[in-house]
Amino acid sequence: MAHKILVLFSIPNCGFTELGSDYEVIFPKGEIISNEEIEQHIGSTDVIVSVFGNKLENHIIDKAPHLKLIANYGVGYDNVDINYAKEKGIVVTNTPDPVTEPTAELAHALMLAVARQVGLLNSKVRTNEGVTMGVMKNLSTTLTGKTLGIIGLGAIGKATARRAIASGMHVVYNKRTPLNSAEEQELKVSYMDLEDLLQQSDVVSLHTPLNNDTNGMIGDAEFQLMKNTAYIVNTARGPVIDENALINALQNNLIAGAGLDVYWNEPEIPQALLKFDNTVLTPHVGTATLDTREEMSILVSEIIKMFFNKNLKQYIVNG
C-alpha cells in the first residue's frame, strides 16, 4: 500500500511528483487544506507536511493513528509541538538548507534599508511634495566600518556575517556555545557576551530559534543597553523581541530604527510600528523566493523518501 502524504498548504509540487507509485500525495484544493479534507484523509495518513507559520494542532495529530512523520516545510518548527509528537513516536523534521542564503539576504537588505532610509525616502519621493535634494539633506547612516552584532550564529547567522564582512562591517556574535578559535578566525568574527554585544553594536541582527530561552529575550533592559544610534533587525521569529518594549524604544529614541520581517502575533502588525518613519517592515518573506520554495519542496520530498528507506540521518528536530 502506498504511503499517504497529506500536505496542509499549497506549496510547489516539484519533488513530490518524483516520489513514484509508492506514495500517494494529497494537496489541498485551495491555499490551505480544509477541515473537510483533513477529516477525509487524516485517518489513513502516514506523513503530514506542515508549513511554518501555520500551527499544527495536537488534536489533528491525535486523529492520525498511522502518522509516522511530520515533515515541516521551513527551518523553524515552533508551529509543531515536537515533544508531543515524540511522545507518540512521530518523527519531526525541518528544511534548513534552502532557507539559509535567502534569509541572510533579507537580513542584510533590511539593515541596509533601515540605515540608509530606503523605505522612508522611497515613500517621500512618491508623494506630491517629493523630497528636496541637497548636500546636507536626506542624511542617513553608512554601515561600512560599523559593528554588526549577531545573536544566534547558526547557518543563517554565519551567512549574514559573510555578507556584512564583505560590505566592510566588523562582526561580533553571541550564541549559547561559542565557536572555536579556528572557526572564528575563518569567519572573521569575535564572541561577546550579550550585554557587551548590545552595548557595542551599531546593528543587532537576530538569528535565534524561538524557544523558552529566547522568547522575549530582547526587552526593555536590552534596549536600554543599546546605542541610541543603533538599529535592530529581526528575521528570526517575532516573539524573540518584546514588541511593546520595541515600540517604547522607538518612541523614546532609545534606538535609531528597526528592520522587521517577523512579528509577535502574525499576521497582525501593530499600528504603532506602521507609523514610524524609521522602521522597514516586510511580511515574513525571509525565504519567499520562488527558487527557495521549490528547493524546500524538493528537500521535503527527499526527507520523506529517506525516512521510509530508513536512511534519514539528518533534519530530525525531535530525535
- Exactly one of 87, 183, 195, 266 is catalytic; name it: 266
When computed from its CA atoms, the radius of gyration of the chain, rounded to whole angstroms, is: 22
Measured in whole angstroms, how far is the alpha carbon of residue 35 from the centre of its chain? 27
Amino acid in position 260? L
Q: Which of 237, 243, 293, 295 is catalytic?
A: 237
Yes or no: say if 239 and 210 are a contact pair by the CB < 8 Å rule: yes
d(CA 25, CA 89): 22
Q: Which of 163, 284, 293, 295 is catalytic?
A: 284
Active site residue 266: yes
Contacts of 294 (CB under 8 A, 6+ apart): 12, 14
The question of whether 237 is a catalytic residue gets the answer yes
Q: In whole angstroms, what is the distance from residue 242 CA to residue 218 CA? A: 6
Q: Which residue has the cell 527558487?
A: 291
Amino acid identity, residue 262?
A: V
Q: In whole angstroms, what separates CA 175 from the centre of its chain?
A: 17
Phi, psi of 256 (to 5 degrees): -85, -20
Is 255:232 a contact under the CB 8 Å cutoff?
yes
CA angle 182, 186, 190 (to 5 degrees): 75
CA separation for the pair 125, 172 (Å, rounded): 36
Q: How far is C-alpha 213 from the chain's CA centre? A: 17
Measured CA to CA, the distance from residue 138 to residue 120 in angstroms comes to 10
- Residues labelled as active-site residues: 237, 266, 284
